[in-house]
């Protein structure tokens, strides 16, 4: 990570950046993950009680589906399938199947 205590934006090694907003008491009120070009991937919002304790967190993830009701993206990450309908990549993990469509390997994508 690159950033410091006064920045509200931190660049991550995976080519995304985290943006934070704060209230008048310097408490984090939102955390937004974006691509370097500015596309929002994920948003979290926080609310606090009078003692400064987090009382609520809202996760504003988004999901899209194709005509076959298969997940095609979530939090800005694309999902791909093979000809047999097996998920082969979810934006973080690659999946390998045998000829009987059984999962035989899974590994982190680069």
- Which range of residues forms the domain containing residue 24? 9-59
Give me the helices (H) in 27-110, please. Answer: none
Give the model's pLDDT for residue 2. 42
d(CA 46, CA 37): 25
Give the model's pLDDT for residue 17. 87
Confidence of residue 85 (pLDDT cuts 50, 70, 90): very high
Question: Mapping DSSP to helix (H, G, I), strand (E, B) and coil, where does residue 87 land?
Answer: strand
Same domain membership, residue 13 and residue 51: yes
Q: Does pLDDT of 74 surpass 70?
A: yes
Number of domains in the chain: 2
| Closest C-alpha to 29, from 44, 8, 49 | 44
| Residue range 2-52, pLDDT digits in tens | 443 444 666 666 678 889 999 999 899 999 988 888 888 888 999 998 888
Residue 3 near residue 10, CB atoms below 8 Å? yes
Same domain membership, residue 102 and residue 73: yes
């Amino acid at each position: 990570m690159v950033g410091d205590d006064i920045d509200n934006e931190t660049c991550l090694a995976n080519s995304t950046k985290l943006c934070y907003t704060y209230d008048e008491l310097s408490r984090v009120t939102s955390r937004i993950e974006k691509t370097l070009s500015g596309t929002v991937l994920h948003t979290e919002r926080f609310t606090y009680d009078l003692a400064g304790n987090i009382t609520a967190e809202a996760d504003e993830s988004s999901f899209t589906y194709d005509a076959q009701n298969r997940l095609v993206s979530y939090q800005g990450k694309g999902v791909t399938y093979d000809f047999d309908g097996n998920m082969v990549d979810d934006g973080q993990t690659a999946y390998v199947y045998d000829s009987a469509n059984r999962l035989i390997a899974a590994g982190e994508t680069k």
